[in-house]
Amino acid sequence: MDNAHTEVKPERIQKIMSAYGVASRREAEKMISAGRVSVNGVTAELGQTATVGIDDILIDGKPLPDMSKHYYIMLNKPCGYVTTVSDERGRKVVTELVADINDKTKIYPIGRLDLNSEGLLLLTNDGAFANTVMHPRFGRKKSYEVRVRGDINSALSKLKEPMEVDSRMVKATSVKLIKQIPNGGVVSITINEGRNKQVRKMCNLCGLEVLALKRVAIGSVKLGNLPPGKWRHLTKEEIDLLRS
Protein backbone atom coordinates (compact mmCIF):
# COMPACT_ATOMS: atom_id res chain seq x y z
CA MET A 1 0.00 0.00 0.00
CA ASP A 2 1.25 3.48 -0.87
CA ASN A 3 1.52 5.57 2.31
CA ALA A 4 2.67 8.75 0.59
CA HIS A 5 -0.77 10.33 0.84
CA THR A 6 -1.62 9.22 4.39
CA GLU A 7 -3.32 12.10 6.14
CA VAL A 8 -1.71 13.30 9.34
CA LYS A 9 -4.52 14.05 11.77
CA PRO A 10 -4.37 16.37 14.79
CA GLU A 11 -4.55 14.73 18.22
CA ARG A 12 -5.11 15.96 21.74
CA ILE A 13 -1.89 17.31 23.16
CA GLN A 14 -1.96 15.07 26.24
CA LYS A 15 -2.20 12.02 23.95
CA ILE A 16 0.81 13.25 21.95
CA MET A 17 2.80 13.84 25.13
CA SER A 18 1.98 10.35 26.36
CA ALA A 19 2.90 8.75 23.04
CA TYR A 20 6.24 10.57 23.10
CA GLY A 21 7.05 9.44 26.61
CA VAL A 22 6.87 12.88 28.21
CA ALA A 23 4.36 11.76 30.84
CA SER A 24 1.23 9.69 31.33
CA ARG A 25 -1.94 11.30 29.99
CA ARG A 26 -3.03 12.26 33.49
CA GLU A 27 0.33 13.90 34.26
CA ALA A 28 0.31 15.56 30.81
CA GLU A 29 -3.07 17.13 31.58
CA LYS A 30 -1.63 18.58 34.79
CA MET A 31 1.33 19.99 32.85
CA ILE A 32 -0.97 21.60 30.29
CA SER A 33 -3.18 23.08 33.02
CA ALA A 34 -0.05 24.47 34.71
CA GLY A 35 0.87 26.36 31.53
CA ARG A 36 4.01 24.33 30.85
CA VAL A 37 3.06 23.44 27.26
CA SER A 38 2.92 25.71 24.23
CA VAL A 39 1.84 25.21 20.62
CA ASN A 40 3.26 27.55 17.99
CA GLY A 41 4.38 29.96 20.69
CA VAL A 42 1.02 30.15 22.47
CA THR A 43 0.32 28.51 25.84
CA ALA A 44 -1.74 25.37 25.25
CA GLU A 45 -5.13 24.72 26.77
CA LEU A 46 -6.52 21.45 28.06
CA GLY A 47 -8.41 19.68 25.27
CA GLN A 48 -6.49 21.45 22.53
CA THR A 49 -5.28 19.43 19.52
CA ALA A 50 -2.09 19.69 17.51
CA THR A 51 -0.30 17.88 14.69
CA VAL A 52 3.19 16.49 15.18
CA GLY A 53 5.53 17.62 12.43
CA ILE A 54 3.37 20.63 11.57
CA ASP A 55 2.80 22.39 14.89
CA ASP A 56 5.68 23.46 17.13
CA ILE A 57 4.97 21.74 20.46
CA LEU A 58 7.18 22.70 23.40
CA ILE A 59 7.17 21.38 26.97
CA ASP A 60 8.95 23.70 29.41
CA GLY A 61 10.42 25.36 26.34
CA LYS A 62 11.85 22.11 24.96
CA PRO A 63 10.68 20.11 21.91
CA LEU A 64 9.20 16.62 22.03
CA PRO A 65 11.79 13.87 22.65
CA ASP A 66 13.40 11.93 19.84
CA MET A 67 11.28 8.82 19.44
CA SER A 68 13.79 6.92 17.33
CA LYS A 69 14.39 4.63 20.31
CA HIS A 70 11.85 3.10 22.65
CA TYR A 71 12.69 1.86 26.11
CA TYR A 72 10.94 -0.98 27.95
CA ILE A 73 12.27 -1.26 31.49
CA MET A 74 11.62 -3.56 34.44
CA LEU A 75 12.49 -2.05 37.82
CA ASN A 76 12.46 -3.73 41.21
CA LYS A 77 11.01 -0.76 43.09
CA PRO A 78 12.11 -0.51 46.73
CA CYS A 79 9.93 0.88 49.49
CA GLY A 80 10.15 4.63 50.03
CA TYR A 81 9.90 5.68 46.37
CA VAL A 82 6.89 7.39 44.81
CA THR A 83 5.69 5.97 41.49
CA THR A 84 5.80 9.17 39.46
CA VAL A 85 8.28 11.32 37.54
CA SER A 86 8.20 14.21 40.04
CA ASP A 87 6.83 14.88 43.51
CA GLU A 88 5.76 18.24 44.88
CA ARG A 89 6.58 17.05 48.41
CA GLY A 90 10.20 16.33 47.56
CA ARG A 91 10.00 12.58 48.06
CA LYS A 92 12.20 10.16 46.14
CA VAL A 93 10.72 9.14 42.76
CA VAL A 94 11.23 5.91 40.83
CA THR A 95 12.74 7.64 37.80
CA GLU A 96 15.77 8.48 39.95
CA LEU A 97 16.54 4.76 39.94
CA VAL A 98 16.77 4.62 36.14
CA ALA A 99 18.65 7.91 35.73
CA ASP A 100 21.72 6.01 34.51
CA ILE A 101 20.05 5.47 31.13
CA ASN A 102 22.33 7.67 29.06
CA ASP A 103 19.68 9.30 26.94
CA LYS A 104 17.64 12.49 26.99
CA THR A 105 14.45 10.55 26.40
CA LYS A 106 12.15 10.62 29.42
CA ILE A 107 10.62 7.35 30.57
CA TYR A 108 7.72 7.09 32.97
CA PRO A 109 6.10 4.35 35.07
CA ILE A 110 3.24 2.22 33.81
CA GLY A 111 0.65 2.11 36.57
CA ARG A 112 1.54 2.51 40.23
CA LEU A 113 2.99 0.87 43.29
CA ASP A 114 2.35 2.82 46.48
CA LEU A 115 5.14 4.34 48.59
CA ASN A 116 5.39 1.41 51.00
CA SER A 117 5.11 -1.35 48.38
CA GLU A 118 7.95 -2.88 46.40
CA GLY A 119 8.56 -5.11 43.43
CA LEU A 120 7.93 -5.24 39.71
CA LEU A 121 7.32 -1.88 38.06
CA LEU A 122 7.41 -1.29 34.31
CA LEU A 123 8.64 1.98 32.76
CA THR A 124 8.63 3.07 29.13
CA ASN A 125 8.63 5.98 26.70
CA ASP A 126 6.16 4.19 24.41
CA GLY A 127 2.72 5.60 25.14
CA ALA A 128 0.86 3.04 23.04
CA PHE A 129 2.60 0.20 24.87
CA ALA A 130 1.81 1.77 28.25
CA ASN A 131 -1.87 2.12 27.37
CA THR A 132 -2.03 -1.51 26.25
CA VAL A 133 -0.52 -2.74 29.51
CA MET A 134 -2.75 -0.53 31.70
CA HIS A 135 -6.09 -0.79 29.89
CA PRO A 136 -8.66 -2.74 31.97
CA ARG A 137 -10.07 -4.57 28.94
CA PHE A 138 -6.87 -6.64 28.66
CA GLY A 139 -7.30 -7.91 32.23
CA ARG A 140 -3.60 -8.17 33.04
CA LYS A 141 -3.20 -10.32 36.12
CA LYS A 142 -0.94 -8.88 38.80
CA SER A 143 0.58 -11.18 41.40
CA TYR A 144 1.79 -10.13 44.84
CA GLU A 145 3.57 -11.71 47.78
CA VAL A 146 2.17 -10.27 50.99
CA ARG A 147 3.56 -10.74 54.50
CA VAL A 148 0.72 -10.32 56.97
CA ARG A 149 0.01 -10.46 60.68
CA GLY A 150 -3.21 -11.99 61.96
CA ASP A 151 -5.31 -15.16 61.88
CA ILE A 152 -4.08 -16.40 58.53
CA ASN A 153 -6.09 -19.63 58.51
CA SER A 154 -9.38 -17.82 59.02
CA ALA A 155 -8.50 -15.07 56.53
CA LEU A 156 -7.48 -17.33 53.64
CA SER A 157 -11.02 -18.47 52.87
CA LYS A 158 -12.32 -14.90 53.15
CA LEU A 159 -9.65 -13.61 50.75
CA LYS A 160 -10.91 -16.02 48.08
CA GLU A 161 -14.45 -14.64 48.26
CA PRO A 162 -15.86 -11.56 46.47
CA MET A 163 -15.73 -8.42 48.61
CA GLU A 164 -16.50 -4.73 48.34
CA VAL A 165 -13.53 -2.38 48.09
CA ASP A 166 -14.15 1.35 47.59
CA SER A 167 -17.80 0.68 46.64
CA ARG A 168 -16.84 -1.90 43.98
CA MET A 169 -17.00 -5.67 44.10
CA VAL A 170 -13.62 -7.31 43.59
CA LYS A 171 -12.36 -10.88 43.75
CA ALA A 172 -8.88 -12.35 43.75
CA THR A 173 -8.21 -14.80 40.92
CA SER A 174 -5.82 -16.77 43.12
CA VAL A 175 -4.95 -16.91 46.83
CA LYS A 176 -2.27 -19.29 48.13
CA LEU A 177 -0.43 -19.63 51.43
CA ILE A 178 3.31 -19.57 50.72
CA LYS A 179 4.37 -20.11 54.31
CA GLN A 180 3.08 -19.70 57.83
CA ILE A 181 5.05 -17.61 60.30
CA PRO A 182 4.46 -16.78 63.97
CA ASN A 183 1.30 -14.64 64.24
CA GLY A 184 0.79 -14.55 60.46
CA GLY A 185 2.10 -15.73 57.12
CA VAL A 186 3.20 -14.96 53.58
CA VAL A 187 0.40 -15.14 51.01
CA SER A 188 0.41 -15.09 47.21
CA ILE A 189 -2.51 -12.99 45.88
CA THR A 190 -3.33 -12.49 42.20
CA ILE A 191 -5.85 -9.90 41.02
CA ASN A 192 -7.14 -8.49 37.73
CA GLU A 193 -8.42 -5.07 38.74
CA GLY A 194 -5.38 -3.38 40.28
CA ARG A 195 -7.32 -0.58 42.00
CA ASN A 196 -5.64 1.82 44.42
CA LYS A 197 -4.10 -0.22 47.29
CA GLN A 198 -6.55 -3.00 46.48
CA VAL A 199 -4.55 -5.90 47.95
CA ARG A 200 -3.87 -4.00 51.18
CA LYS A 201 -7.56 -3.16 51.54
CA MET A 202 -8.60 -6.76 50.82
CA CYS A 203 -6.26 -8.02 53.54
CA ASN A 204 -7.51 -5.41 56.01
CA LEU A 205 -11.12 -6.41 55.36
CA CYS A 206 -10.17 -9.98 56.25
CA GLY A 207 -8.60 -8.93 59.54
CA LEU A 208 -4.98 -9.01 58.39
CA GLU A 209 -2.33 -6.34 58.90
CA VAL A 210 -0.02 -5.99 55.89
CA LEU A 211 3.61 -5.90 56.98
CA ALA A 212 5.19 -6.03 53.51
CA LEU A 213 3.84 -6.16 49.96
CA LYS A 214 5.80 -7.03 46.82
CA ARG A 215 4.51 -7.32 43.24
CA VAL A 216 6.19 -10.31 41.64
CA ALA A 217 4.50 -10.58 38.23
CA ILE A 218 2.41 -8.76 35.65
CA GLY A 219 0.76 -11.28 33.37
CA SER A 220 3.45 -13.83 32.42
CA VAL A 221 6.31 -11.39 33.07
CA LYS A 222 8.00 -12.14 36.38
CA LEU A 223 10.31 -10.11 38.61
CA GLY A 224 12.63 -13.04 39.16
CA ASN A 225 15.87 -12.37 41.05
CA LEU A 226 16.31 -8.73 40.03
CA PRO A 227 17.75 -6.97 43.15
CA PRO A 228 15.80 -4.13 44.81
CA GLY A 229 16.58 -0.75 43.24
CA LYS A 230 17.98 -2.31 40.06
CA TRP A 231 16.51 -2.33 36.56
CA ARG A 232 16.91 -4.19 33.29
CA HIS A 233 15.57 -4.00 29.75
CA LEU A 234 12.61 -6.25 28.99
CA THR A 235 13.36 -9.02 26.53
CA LYS A 236 11.60 -9.08 23.16
CA GLU A 237 9.61 -12.09 24.37
CA GLU A 238 8.43 -10.19 27.46
CA ILE A 239 7.46 -7.14 25.37
CA ASP A 240 5.49 -9.36 23.01
CA LEU A 241 3.73 -11.08 25.95
CA LEU A 242 2.65 -7.73 27.37
CA ARG A 243 1.46 -6.50 23.97
CA SER A 244 -0.55 -9.63 23.18
Just list the catalytic residues.
114
Measure Cα distances from 205 to 8, 27, 87 in Å: 51, 31, 30
Residue 42: strand pairing partners: 39
User: Residue 30 CB: number of other CB atoms within 10 A?
Assistant: 13
Percent helix, strand, coil in the chain (nearest 5)? 25, 30, 45
How many Å apart are CA 124 and CA 74, to the nearest integer?
A: 9
Distance CA 175, CA 62 (A): 48
Alpha helices in the chain (DSSP H): 13-19, 25-33, 127-134, 152-159, 198-205, 236-243
